[in-house]
Amino acid sequence: MARAFNLADKSAFDYYKDLSEKGYYSRIISGNVQQRIEVDSVVCNFDNYPYSVRTYAKQFIIRSSNVTRRNLITSCYLVNSVRSDNNPQGFNIEKFAVVENRDIEVIER
């Protein structure tokens, strides 16, 4: 997580902290739940700075009793940054937000 936080502003850390305070990570571990993200597409607008980005993905929450498939859409802005070993692509994420995270289907196992 520390490496990821080097690539983003406080908005990403705020999401992490909020989920942590709600016990999200503890419930994932204690419930033996697995998660997988499949990115469908990433749309970047390099015509205007800072560059707006929207990511479209599917999230799979895998439990022993069922698999929940969710639609996940996030948005952020990319700003130029100095390239380094911690940030080889030379961008930082700003104003990260989850636009949508809703269930599509639940498949019983």
Q: Position of tokens 């498939």?
A: 69
Give dist(CA 26, CA 33) in Å, integer: 10
Q: How far is CA 40 from the centre of its chain?
A: 13
The domain locations on the chain are 2-108
Mean pLDDT across 61-79: 96
List, for residues 5-16, the tens digit of each pLDDT value: 889 999 999 999
Give the CA dihedral 7, 1, 25, 23, nearest 10 degrees: -70
Look up the pTM and report it. Answer: 0.88
Banded pLDDT at 73 (limits 50, 70, 90): very high
Give dist(CA 61, CA 59) in Å, integer: 7
**Which pLDDT belongs to residue 1?**
84
Radius of gyration of the CA atoms of the chain, in A: 16
Banded pLDDT at 76 (limits 50, 70, 90): very high
How would CATH label the architecture of 2-108? Roll (3.10)
List, for residues 2-58, the tens digit of each pLDDT value: 888 889 999 999 999 999 999 999 999 999 999 999 999 999 999 999 999 999 999
**Which pLDDT belongs to residue 4?**
87
